[in-house]
A and B are shown apart, each in its own frame.
Chain A
Amino acid sequence: MAIESDVVVIGGGLAGATAALSAAREGVHVHLVSANESTLRQASGLIDALGYAVGHAAENDGEDAGAGSGDADAVPGPLADPFAVIEDLPADHPYRVAGADALREGLALFDDAVGDLYRGGHTDRNALVPTTSGRAKPTARYPQSVAPGLASDGRPMLLVGFEADTEFDAPLAAERLSAAGVPFDVSGATVEFAGEYRADAAVTRLAHALERDESAASGRGTTAGEGRTTRQRLADRIRPHLGDAERVGIPAMLGDSHVEEVRADLSERLDAEVFEVPTGPPSLPGIRLEDRLFDALDSAGVSMTTGTPVVDFETGADGRVASVTIDRNGARIPYEAGAFVLATGGLVGKGLDSDRERAHEALFGCHVPQPDDRMAWSAGGAFADHAFARFGVRPDDRMRPLDVEGTPEYANLAAAGGVVGGADVAREKSASGVSLATGLVAGRTAAEEA
């Protein structure tokens, strides 16, 4: 027997969640199946739409493009309005295929799903968020905890890093921001994290200490600030560095689910607004987003199975996908549905796999355009225009992956997110937006086909 539903969405990242919510909105029963926990855990938690209009070199010129670190592909400054340039993007860019409205509606669906966890929905314009490496990054939506740190806000800023945290050098980040010409004074300070944990304590450990506001007793042997809580001691350590700063940026580890409480408490103690600086993995904002999307899916009545890879599929006599098969340690269980969404991710999420000969879509074997010569998959400059960064299936305007002839591989299979190619989402800063736009359309298509 099989597990039955109207739509099966394969993949539990941002694109899969969006597709599932989008399909559920159309009134169908959706089953979301994912191989592992969401790769949102690796993402900074920012929701980028389109930050830069990067060039789009032809498919086969990877070899010689850009000898230096991207010098040859000079890209103009960040886009204030991501929607303004969508019409100028290359024809196979997912935004061109899905349309600007898909991005707009995808962002609206996101806003609806995450509620007050995120900000930025009040305007079409991008915001500039300081990153841990001290760059202002254009993004469309940002966690509420990040909001006071925006680079277009003129209030003086202090960035705070921790001695044992090698990822974030706050003074260096402050210098970089200043050098980039931010319209405010910014300085950086490195302090000891309150609590004296081992130098290799997990970020989640520090977040937990802040969330629970642990007393000194539950931390490890401590001398300074005996009897005071983690937050009290942290505030005490930051205070001498405050100067005129009206806002204080700390790496995004201010608790897990109670970030606003932690932030408010620290803000009050410092008499300055405390905000989070998004980090590389591990990413607490990514985890919070994952949790919030889970709640949204639960509320939408979406069934979820996580931890089981889809390993196979079957087609019916009509050439449509009839079922996919999950593997549970050797037990193979079919999931039947009227339509399917492929949201298995790109090269990182393993929706795309590759060997020395070619890159391929890992589950259905959908067509993935690519240069024949492996050396042309990448370019010489580290940040140059890499063909591999644009690997993925090419869909029609209903997000159905197309075969080499340009016809849909399967009438009832739509794709969303990283498995869709055509854009270097890293250099564009468009990964989340592409997931939202394609997820929205793919979910609708699946609901229609179900």
Chain B
Amino acid sequence: MSDRTEVLVVGGGSTGCGVARDLATRGVDVTLVEQGNLTHGTTGRMHGLLHSGGRYAVSDQASARECIEENRVLRDIASHCVELTGGLFVKRPEDTEEYFQEKLAGCRECGIPAEVLSAEEAREVEPFLAGDIDKAIRVPDGAVDPFRLCVANAADAEAHGARIETHSPVTDVLVEDGAVVGVEVTHESGAGKRVHGVEGGTEEIYADHVVNATGAWAGRIGDMAGVDVEVRPSKGVMTVMNVREVDTVVNRCKPKGDADIVVPHETTCILGTTDEEVEDPEDYPEEAWEVDLMIEELSKLVPMLDGARTIRSYWGVRPLYEPPGTGTEDPTDITRDFFLLDHAERDDLPGMTSIVGGKFTTYRLMAEQISDHVCDLLGVEAACTTADRPLPGSEDFSVLRDYMDEFGLRSPVGRRSVQRLGSRADEVLDTDEPNPVVCQCEAVTRAELRDAIGGSGSDLNAVRLRTRASMGNCQGGFCAHRMANELHAGGDFDRPTVDAALDELWQERWKGQRHALWGEQLSQAMLNHLLHATTFNRDGAAPEDFAAFDAGECGAGSADRDAADASGDADDAGDTSERTAADGGVSARDCGGDRGGD
């Protein structure tokens, strides 16, 4: 099986999705392939900060300027993915005044609105800030949901004719006559709507140009094409709190360091992070001390974090890159700028461009520049419109509407649904069927889940990313199985597919939760364990011989009644008759005889 496209984008993170959307809206025929879900790589493992640029205002002013510009763009085009929380750079007594002033000046130089707040003023904004802070700078940081943003980009690309294939890792880069002409992908599931365990075989996709947007994995694609792309993956931990201890992004105002930011994210807060170079973007240690460091350091800014509940931690790998020979030793010093590697110029291998480095906030700008480059190569003249065109879900969107009454939902459920769905709320939530809440922690209803299943198939982790179902404090304990039920009842997937999807989701939830297992989350884990192992018996093997077990006091109707009796001993029989006599009519009904009441 093979296919042909103008541009093949490898990687379904923010860059890849952004490029796919940009090119598709310029009328280019695009195919995007991703080895896992959308956002499977780094995008799905970031802290959700929509930079104001403040963090780069001292060290990297070019980046800072891009950030504030893109920050404004995203508020317009992606309003349902972005929350305008505002941000604070908080100075503790041990942080230098000099740096505080540099930060303030840097912000102003870069056009980032910055306002100095006294300690009292800062605590009016964020009441749980430490009592001993000196002061803060307020900047327009925000929070962004990377999953929603990528899904919206991909959906818009699809609406403009793009083909999006998830769970389709590239297994080879096709090079013919010294040029990249396409890739071979292995569909881990049937093409299109994903069904677990259905192998879709391999496919060669030919393209006029290949965009390698695989971030930390860029070296692997490079290897397949025979070129060196030396990405320096650097890991960082993110610890997810159960609630929003803060509603504003809280940064520590000091030059650099680990554990210096708290980002409110949906119903939670995310503590970040560390910066440590690793060999392999998929195999690196995840250690308890990293989580402890987040809590200990950041509770200096927000004391209640120490002792508050965390629900999981995860690690992301930054695709840092620097041109060969730069030789920066500390990964925190490596530039956050992105690099467009035109392999025709660089390696004399036409047909492929790799994108490395960069940061999430400026994904659209990167996509625009890459698309410009590709369009130049392909002779496409259409201009980029992504800065002005709202993403699906962010069109003509007013949160002020009274969605709760309209859809018969409780107000917080309706409110959260609309915060997630944006302008799609009407088409998703307007149903005549009963629309119960499936995930109570995150207020996700059946209608929203079924919409997500329609969009991403049987992969419950993809459904989770679209809806946030199972991402709250019980981490799926009370809803993972309910989500699986929706796959069966609403998605019409068969039992083995549903069971595989549930096991995969459950294992994914467990992996991150292991890093939060003390206090309340350990209690939660034990309750989840009891619920799924004891109450549901999801873990226990099925019996081989049903007849060896108790079939009831009379064993009435048992197909294997004789066998059951034979394996019981004489004492049992004696007990039975005694019990029956004592209970009278009740036992008679038990035995399927008299069905009258007592």
Contact = CB atoms under 8 A, between A and B. Distances in A.
CB–CB under 8 A between A and B in the complex? yes
Nearest to B557: A155
B543 A128 contact: yes
Contacts of B543: 77-78, 80, 128, 136, 138, 151, 180
Q: Tell me which of A247, A278, A353 has the highest count of chain B C-beta atoms within 10 A of its own C-beta.
A: A353
Given A124-B572, A131-B536, A152-B547, A381 B527 contact: no
A349 to B, nearest CB: 9
Interface string B525-553: 11101111111111111111111111111
Contacts of B550: 120, 122-123, 125-128, 150, 152
Given A122-B553, A260-B598, A374-B517, A76 B541 contact: yes
Given A78-B543, A120-B550, A199-B435, A172 B498 contact: yes
Chain A CB within 10 Å — which of B533, B551, B575 has the most? B533
Contacts of A125: 548-550, 567-568, 572
Nearest to B499: A176
A187 interface: no
Interface in A75-131: 75-78, 80, 116, 119-128, 131
Interface string A319-354: 000000000000000000000000000111010011
A170 to B, nearest CB: 9
Interface stretch (A13-21, A425-433, A439-447): A425-433
Interface string A202-225: 000000000000000000000000
A132 B484 CA distance: 13
Contact of A375 (B288, B481, B535, B590): B288
A356 B535 contact: no
B434 A383 contact: no
A123 B568 contact: yes
Contact of A131 (B518, B529, B535): B535
Interface in A151-207: 151-155, 163-169, 171-172, 175-176, 179-184, 190, 192, 199-200
B104 interface: no
* Interface size classification for chain A: 35 or more
Interface string B181-221: 00000000000000000000000000000000000000000
Given A183-B559, A389-B526, A273 B538 contact: no
B507 interface: yes
Contacts of B489: 169, 171-172, 190
A153 B555 contact: yes
Given A135-B537, A280-B531, A264 B595 contact: yes
B173 to A, nearest CB: 30
A122 B506 contact: no
Interface in A242-266: 246-247, 260-261, 264-265
B549 A127 contact: yes
A147 B552 contact: yes
Nearest to B483: A166
B327 interface: no
A298 B534 CA distance: 29
A381 B546 CA distance: 28
A151 B545 CA distance: 11
A58 B489 CA distance: 42
Given A136-B537, A183-B560, A200-B436, A354 B518 contact: yes
A166 B446 contact: yes
A353 B535 CA distance: 23
Q: Is the interface of A mostly helix, strand, loop or mixed?
A: loop
A116 B522 contact: no
B590 A348 contact: no
A183 B547 contact: yes
B542 A383 contact: no
B387 interface: no
A57 to B, nearest CB: 15
A382 to B, nearest CB: 4
B467 to A, nearest CB: 14
B540 A78 contact: yes
B590 A184 contact: no
A36 interface: no
A52 B560 contact: no
B323 interface: no
Contacts of B503: 69
A43 B530 CA distance: 9
A75 B482 contact: no
Interface string B427-460: 0000001111110000000100000000000000
A305 interface: no
B528 to A, nearest CB: 9
B592 A166 contact: no
Given A190-B489, A265-B597, A431-B534, A77 B435 contact: no
A423 B572 CA distance: 29
A282 to B, nearest CB: 11
A31 B575 CA distance: 34
Contacts of A431: 530, 534
Nearest to A274: B595
Given A182-B546, A200-B410, A264-B589, A135 B510 contact: no
B287 interface: yes
B399 to A, nearest CB: 23
Contacts of A78: 540-543, 549
Given A123-B572, A133-B536, A267-B595, A374 B553 contact: no
A52 B547 CA distance: 17
A373 interface: yes
A143 to B, nearest CB: 12
A429 B538 contact: no
B226 to A, nearest CB: 34
A280 B525 contact: no
A416 B522 CA distance: 21
A148 B572 CA distance: 19
B586 interface: yes
Contact of A176 (B433, B478, B495): B495
B519 A355 contact: yes
Contact of A137 (B478, B488, B537): B537
Given A172-B498, A261-B597, A273-B592, A131 B537 contact: yes
B556 interface: yes
Contact of A382 (B510, B534, B540, B597): B510
A68 interface: yes
B595 A166 contact: no
Given A152-B564, A172-B489, A378 B437 contact: no
A369 interface: no
A388 B526 contact: yes
A346 B519 contact: no
Given A123-B575, A154-B557, A347 B514 contact: no
A116 B581 CA distance: 12
A314 interface: no
B540 A429 contact: yes
B549 A80 contact: yes
B583 interface: yes
Nearest to A73: B539
A383 B499 CA distance: 15
A70 B547 CA distance: 27
Given A166-B438, A264-B598, A374-B518, 8 more contacts: A51-B537, A52-B540, A132-B536, A133-B536, A136-B537, A347-B523, A359-B518, A429-B534
10 closest residue pairs by CB, A with B:
A154-B559, A264-B597, A155-B557, A127-B550, A180-B542, A169-B485, A426-B533, A382-B510, A152-B551, A347-B526
16 contacts: A80-B545, A116-B586, A126-B549, A148-B590, A151-B543, A153-B556, A183-B558, A199-B437, A264-B595, A267-B595, A268-B597, A350-B523, A353-B519, A354-B519, A388-B525, A427-B540
Interface of A: 42-44, 48, 51-52, 68-70, 75-78, 80, 116, 119-128, 131-133, 135-138, 144, 147-148, 150-155, 163-169, 171-172, 175-176, 179-184, 190, 192, 199-200, 246-247, 260-261, 264-265, 267-268, 271, 273, 278-281, 346-348, 350, 353-356, 359, 373-375, 377-378, 380-383, 386, 388-389, 425-427, 429, 431
